[in-house]
Chain A
């Protein structure tokens, strides 16, 4: 993958000449899209927050940040694959709920007397992947917009979680080893983060080295050409949603482990971290752009922002608003070079 991204005018360089002032475009295009801009933004945030509260730069807090980064990092890998092909997956919170609840009820817990060990993982992951497959098949074969299909899948997942939860008592993890695993440190980094890093590596491989990953980029860039070139477009589309579902399941298990007990809304708020993170990382919602590393940086940026605002003593009530503003800014920045006249945005 090339690291420097330019916007695509209809005629490349010639297309760039027409819109806006050059300096403005450079500022926005690189600030939003280039990993260097992202890294710079990260450094600025870290410096500012360290200045506001020296505790921010402590080892403990950085471990804490990485712990918080883990779940959305796993999710953003799947989300990036889906968004790169120009679709969107809104179902992650529901899938997390279904998979997380399934996992805890099949692992040592206060509710059921079942402990399937590794099978609990497998069953929960397969459930997540099946929900993703369902979205993918309905979207690719029945041609229903992924936006709507995945909204439905979200609530199917949530429904499964609620049914499993029932009216009984809260299921809590009874295995100390499992409950402590995510916070445990190896080489100074929490296990949860190691897991997420592994997933990121997996995502990078898929995105850059497989027919599926490159095919998704091609579909996002120009689906009719992809079809005319004989690509198995539907297979790729379903594959992307299946992977996103699988990773949603994994994120649900990890989040449940982190919490130590089962919850139907274990995924609450993740969607609003993951999608903006991908967009801030330069994954255009129209598809065909962006990359795993930059999406991951987007996640880190948002989590650090959140963490830093807390440590800086900002009223938690303001944080939603700040998140929203950051998202708006990022979307404007990404759309900036494309704002030609008569372009229909949907």
Chain B
């Protein structure tokens, strides 16, 4: 990259808020032709909102965006494509039942004369797609069906599609790769790195990743975001990981907020996993949780902790290893068996998996353990109402109306009811919490954490997937750090003295 290369992207004081939350605060950034920029930061730092603004999915509230010297006011993703911004999303967005060529060219088919009167010119479509593939140096037959390709080849098709949408031949395409390596194997990552080196010959690249090693290896410059702001913008040369950590994480170096008596490490585990493996998700994970203990699983997106939690609950399969509940190994583990054994799971996708929005609090709470409100096969509405009222009062659900459909409550109050559904079981043995505080404000978060601790004091074992490391430090007795599906570190909080957030982050990435 030459220092006098033309500027491809220039952001000036770009901001975007959602309600009271400022997701992106006055970000200014310049990217020149041929540059590869690494964009990193913790979950929720504002990276994805910034990407959405560049991709035309979100519009900035303030600030100015220029692409190839022209002011960009994107009204939708199509405008971004026309301006030459190609995004490779974290989730693959290809039509698996169509051919490589169709996937690469479908946005151009009507614009660039690849079809006449609605009839495809297959010859030209295949040739154009093949040209794009050659340009980025990928050896694929454009007539292959995408569903027949491996994962890394599909990623290449995504890149080809992103590259193909630059109608203005004089401009430089801006290619955004949103955590492209999160689900790749090591060998596949190397293929991708080679690819990025080729891209820089004719494009500028924004490479978003949690993995600092990769960012330092691949990129010319690293940009760090925290709380919606750019906290660091430096050339990769001479930068150390530690400097980047400091830019990523709060200034508060260590947190010690454990506020309850540590449970003993002795005795029978409520749940214990040995060498649990699911290919491509988590690998050889072992840990035990005793009654009253909280074990936090910490890691980035794609570290496998979500799949692991779901496997514990029987919601996903595993390929190898064992799960023992109360000392007995489980076989043919299903959700129904898990619930009978006293397991509970508060999912991250609350609205999809945690509740039935059309049902009122009474029926939501009676979902998993209706036996407490049942005579023979019949539900007793008055008993259900009684139970629900107790929980609404105890958790302070607002509005305090057990008959109102749950969909009409705020997210925090919904989460209280989801929690109540599982806590409404005196035999509760293991509570698995996947992002229990996601989207909750401070008050509700405290209420939820209070209930989790109370459950612990009553002898429930807790497996927690926290939103933040601070949450893990505050709640957990033991912290397991997962990286790419493997346990990369364990911290016993009862014996550990001071534990640094930065130290944990360095084990995650």
Closest B-chain residue to A19, C-beta based? B317
Instruction: Tell me the smallest distance from the CB of A234 to a CB of chain B, in Å.
Output: 16
Nearest residue in B to A11 (C-beta to C-beta)? B151
Contact, CB under 8 Å: A214 / B93:
no
B109 touches A211 (CB 8 A): yes
Residues of A near B94 (CB, < 8 A) are 225
**Which one of B23-31, B114-122, B414-422 is at the A interface?**
B114-122
> Which residues of B have CB within 8 Å of A220?
97
Query: Is B316 engaged at the interface, CB distance under 8 Å to the other chain?
Result: yes
Q: Shortest distance in angstroms between B156's beta carbon and chain A's nearest beta carbon?
A: 13
Q: Does A318 contact B (CB under 8 A)?
A: no
Q: Using a CB-CB cutoff of 8 Å, which residues 98-154 of chain B contact chain A? A: 98-99, 102, 106-107, 109-110, 115, 118-120, 122, 143-145, 147-151, 154
What's the nearest-Cβ distance from chain B to residue A232, in Å?
9
Per-residue CB contact flags for chain A residues 192-228 toward chain B (1 = under 8 Å, else 0) read: 0000000000000000011110100110111001101
A residues 1-44 in Cβ contact with B at 8 Å? 2, 4, 6, 8, 11-14, 17-18
Bound-state CA distance A133–B371 (Å) is 51
Q: Are B149 and A12 in contact (CB under 8 A)?
A: yes
By beta carbon, the residue of chain A nearest B111 is A230
**Known pairs A12-B149, A211-B120, A212-B118; A225 contacts B93 (CB<8 A):** yes
A115: min CB distance to chain B, Å: 36
Q: Does A142 contact B (CB under 8 A)?
A: no
* A342 adjacent to chain B (CB < 8 Å): yes
Partner of A288, one of B81, B97, B99, B335: B97
Q: How many Å from the CB of B120 to the closest CB on chain A?
A: 5
Instruction: Determine which of A11, A211, A226, A289 lies in contact with B280 in the assembled complex, contact meaning CB atoms within 8 Å.
Output: A11
- How far is it, in angstroms, between the C-alpha of A247 and the C-alpha of B334 when the chains are bound? 47
| CB nearest to B110 among chain A residues | A211
Contact B119 A209 (CB under 8 A): yes
Interface residue count on the B side (C-beta < 8 Å) = 39
Most buried by A among B95, B97, B102, B109: B97
- In the assembled complex, the Cα of A4 lies from the Cα of B148 at a distance in Å of 9
User: Within 8 Å of chain B (Cβ to Cβ): is A341?
Assistant: yes
Question: For residue A17, which residues in chain B have a CB less than 8 angstroms away from its CB?
Answer: 279
The verdict on B410 contacting chain A, using a C-beta distance below 8 Å, is no
Give Cα distance in the complex from A288 to B279, angstroms.
28
* Given A222-B93, A225-B93, A2 contacting B316 (CB threshold 8 A): no
Q: What bracket does the count of chain A residues touching chain B fall in?
A: 20 to 34
Whether A230 and B120, one on each chain, are in contact in the complex, defined by CB atoms closer than 8 angstroms, is: no
Contact of A229 (CB < 8 Å), options: B106, B147, B334: B106
Q: A8-B97, A12-B151, A289-B97 are in contact. Are A18 and B317 (CB under 8 A)?
A: yes
Q: Which residues of B contact A8 (CB under 8 A)?
A: 96-97, 147
- Beta-carbon nearest neighbor of B117 in chain A: A210
Residues of B within 8 A of A229 (CB): 77, 106-107
Question: How far does the Cβ of A228 sit from chain B's closest Cβ, in whole Å?
Answer: 6
Interface contact A221-B96, CB-CB below 8 Å: yes
Residues of A within 8 A of B154 (CB): 12
Q: How far is the CA of A226 from the CA of B280 in the complex (A)?
A: 28
What is the 8 Å Cβ interface bit string for chain A, positions 314-346, against chain B (1 contact, 0 not)?
000000000000000000000000000110000
Closest to A228 in B: B77
A211 contact set on B, CB distance < 8 A? 109-110, 115, 118-120
- B residues within 8 A CB of A288? 95-97
Check if B315 is an interface residue, CB within 8 A of chain A: yes
Do residues B120 and A221 form an inter-chain contact, with CB atoms below 8 A?
no
Q: A2-B145, A12-B148 are in contact. Are A214 and B120 (CB under 8 A)?
A: yes
Which residue of A217, A289, A342 is within 8 Å of B316 (Cβ)? A342
A217: B residues at CB distance < 8 A: 95, 97-98
Q: Which residues of B contact A210 (CB under 8 A)?
A: 115, 118-120
Residue on B nearest A3 in the bound complex, by CB = B145
For residue B73, CB closer than 8 A to chain A, the reply is no
The distance from the CB of A92 to the nearest CB of chain B, in whole angstroms, is 25
Bound CA span A212–B110, Å: 12
- Taking a contact as CB atoms closer than 8 A, the residue among A12, A209, A221 that contacts B97 in the complex is A221
Across the interface, do A209 and B120 meet the contact criterion of CB distance under 8 Å?
Answer: yes
Q: Taking the nearest CB of chain B, how far is it from the CB of A288, in angstroms?
A: 5
Question: Which residue of A is nearest B78, CB measured?
Answer: A230
Question: Nearest CB to that of B185 among chain A residues?
Answer: A14
Determine the residue in chain B with the shortest Cβ distance to A2: B145
Query: A290's closest neighbor in chain B, by CB?
Result: B97
A342 pairs with B119, CB closer than 8 A: no
The answer on a CB contact under 8 Å between A2 and B93 is: no
Report yes or no: A221 in contact with B95, Cβ–Cβ below 8 A.
Answer: yes
Q: Is the CB of B97 within 8 A of A14?
A: no
Known contacts A14-B280, A230-B77, A342-B316; A2/B148 CB under 8 A: yes
Are A218's CB and B106's CB within 8 A?
yes
Name the distance in Å between A219's Cβ and chain B's nearest Cβ.
Answer: 9
Question: What is the CB-to-nearest-CB distance from B368 to chain A, in angstroms, rounded to a whole number?
Answer: 16
By Cβ-Cβ distance, the 6 closest A-B pairs, closest first, are: A221-B95, A230-B78, A288-B97, A2-B145, A8-B147, A221-B97
- 12 residue pairs of the A-B complex, CB under 8 angstroms, read A2-B145, A2-B148, A6-B147, A11-B183, A12-B151, A14-B151, A14-B280, A210-B118, A211-B109, A221-B96, A231-B106, A342-B315
A sample of 19 more A-B contacts (CB under 8 A), given A12-B151, A14-B279, A210-B118, is A12-B149, A210-B115, A211-B110, A214-B98, A217-B95, A217-B97, A217-B98, A218-B95, A218-B106, A220-B97, A221-B96, A222-B93, A226-B95, A229-B107, A230-B76, A230-B78, A230-B107, A231-B106, A341-B316
